[in-house]
Amino acid sequence: MLIQENVALAPLTTMGVGGPARYFVEATSTDEVREAVRYADAHRLPLFILGGGSNLIVSDRGWPGLVLKMAILGINHRHGRGTAYFDAGAGEEWDGFVAATVAHNCAGVECLSGIPGSIGGTPVQNVGAYGQEVAETIDSLVALDLKSGEEQEFDKEDCGFAYRTSVFNTRQRGRYVILRVTFALKLDGEPKMAYGDLQKYFSNRDSARTLANVRAAVRQIRASKSMLITPGDEDARSAGSFFKNPVVSAKLFEELKRRAASQNLAIPRYPALDAQKKVPAAWLVEHSGFSKGYGNGAVGISRKHALAIVNRGRATAAEIVAFSDEIRRRVQESWGIQLEPEPVFVG
Ligand SMILES: Cc1cc2nc3c(=O)[nH]c(=O)nc-3n(C[C@H](O)[C@H](O)[C@H](O)COP(=O)(O)OP(=O)(O)OC[C@H]3O[C@@H](n4cnc5c(N)ncnc54)[C@H](O)[C@@H]3O)c2cc1C
């Protein structure tokens, strides 16, 4: 196990900001994870687990302790009756995993195609897109408990999944290192077609609704919104959606509708968001004085997606945070709603 010093973190994140890790190690096995944890304990270093770096804003000062880059690889699968169990190392790249499941004609994660990051990152915020989330297919996972030093198996029910949350980013934040995740997928299952964008894509084409075609469609739709990491696409230098869709009470939603109507505006309704009483955060941002492409300095809003804050060049983490605070303040003033950031702030 090689412990490196002063390793730049910005290139290891999709946002591309932030200072160095005081110490840095890549762990390719459970034993190496344990060894790294012992090293951090022995030297009293705060530990941070890095996956694909796609949901992070690393501070300009960097991380004062040890960054453990998760690099446990390997995908195994076994078939039960109608169900295929895929067991993947936490360091596997998520989208490569989705491609493998689709190649085996297994349904359940096809709509999550094109999301950057690692397998281990997906349960943390219960990754979701186009009407699907990993909570629907995660069967179990194995994590190292930093408190007891023991490996612990979590069934789906133990993970506390809800919209963009799990126990791993709420009450047990920082306690576990996720080592492996097992997904239960439907063998020869149908693709999920819950989302309007996907239905529209297929209604305009003479293309069969197979898992492979849905995966291709999702990637194409994501690319058109710079939500697919594509070399050279400046609008993809982001952490994805910067704000969660706020969940509001029925009363507050009525109040918002009245406020919007008084300005001759209507809050767009999407069945998927309606069911969970969510207000589209993108609409709130765009109706608080920020449009796609807003900002002409180092930080701005993506030209293709109102919820993505992008690093247009040499932005600092402080500039990103100041810009997101300005958006939050203006949304609060205009609509009385406090937007909650989705990325994790490190250091
Ligand atoms: C262009 C773009 C599009 C995106 N689209 C979506 C989307 O559609 N839907 C969505 O939900 N998200 C989206 N995201 C956000 C991001 O891709 C996901 O949250 C992803 O799952 C993060 O995984 P990661 O491996 O990159 O985690 P990181 O960013 O490295 O880490 C995120 C958090 O997870 C923790 N973590 C990571 N791995 C482990 C592990 N093995 N054990 C314990 N903790 C761990 C980290 O400590 C940190 O707290 C997008 C991001 C970008 C840049």
pLDDT, averaged in runs of 10, over the chain (347 residues): 96 97 98 98 98 98 98 95 96 98 98 98 96 97 97 98 95 97 97 91 90 97 95 93 91 88 87 74 95 92 96 95 97 95 96
What pTM, to 2 d.p., does this model score?
Answer: 0.95
238 lines ligand 1 (CB under 6 A): yes
**What spacing in Å lies between the alpha carbon of 263 and ligand 1's midpoint?**
37
Give distance in angstroms: CA of 321 to centre of ligand 1. 18
Q: How far is the CA of 102 from the centre of ligand 1 (A)?
A: 21
Would residue 241 show up in a list of annotated catalytic residues for this protein?
A: yes
53 lines ligand 1 (CB under 6 A): yes
Would you state the pLDDT for residue 253?
A: 86
Q: Which residues have C-beta within 8 Å of that of residue 303, sequence separation ≥ 6?
A: 226, 235, 292, 293
Residue 228 has a pLDDT of 96
pLDDT of residue 267: 87
Q: Which has the closest alpha carbon to 34: 88, 72, 6, 63?
A: 72
Asked if residue 55 has its Cβ within 6 Å of ligand 1, the reply is yes
Residue tagged active-site, from 241, 288, 302, 324:
241
Q: How many CB atoms lie within 10 A of CB 156?
A: 18
pLDDT of 268: 83
7 contacts 24 by C-beta, under 8 angstroms: yes
The predicted structure's pLDDT at residue 272: 64
pLDDT at 35: 97
| DSSP letter string, 209-257 | --HHHHHHHHHHHHHHTT-S--TT-GGG-B-S-SBPPPB--HHHHHHHH
Supply the pLDDT for residue 164.
Answer: 92
**From the alpha carbon of 15, which atom of ligand 1 is closest?**
53
Assess whether 226 carries a catalytic annotation: no
**Distance in Å, CA 54 to ligand 1 centroid:** 5
Cα-to-centroid distance, 282 and ligand 1 (Å): 20
Q: Could you tell which of 54, 147, 245 is best to mutate to test the pocket of ligand 1, judged by most ligand atoms within 8 Å of the CB?
A: 54
Closest among 148, 73, 161, 172 to 118, alpha carbons compared:
73
The per-residue pLDDT for 283 is: 95
The set of residues, in sequence order, having a beta carbon less than 8 Å from that of 277 and lying 6+ positions away, is: 247, 248, 249, 250, 253
From the candidates 22, 164, 180, 222, which is the catalytic residue? 164
Q: Are 114 and 95 in contact (CB under 8 A)?
A: yes
Q: Is any atom of ligand 1 closer than 6 Å to the C-beta of 52?
A: yes
Amino acid code (one letter) for 26: E
H-run or E-run covering 25: strand 20-27
| Ligand 1: nearest atom to the Cα of 226 | 1
CA distances from 63 to 29, 59, 68, 313 (A): 23, 8, 11, 22
Cα 346 from Cα 78, distance rounded (Å): 37
| Pocket lining: 181 vs ligand 1, CB cutoff 6 Å | no
Strand partners, 76: 87
> Which of 28, 32, 33, 55 is the best mutation target for the ligand 1 pocket, counting ligand atoms within 8 Å of the beta carbon and taking the most?
55
Whole-Å CA distances, 317 to 188, 195, 241, 299, 341:
45, 34, 16, 10, 14
Between the alpha carbon of residue 212 and those of residues 9, 175, 225, 232, 275, the distances in Å are 35, 37, 20, 26, 28
Q: Do residues 88 and 99 lie in contact, with contact meaning Cβ atoms separated by under 8 Å?
A: no
Query: What distance in angstroms lies between residue 256's CA and the mean position of ligand 1's atoms?
Result: 31
Does residue 136 have an active-site annotation?
Answer: no
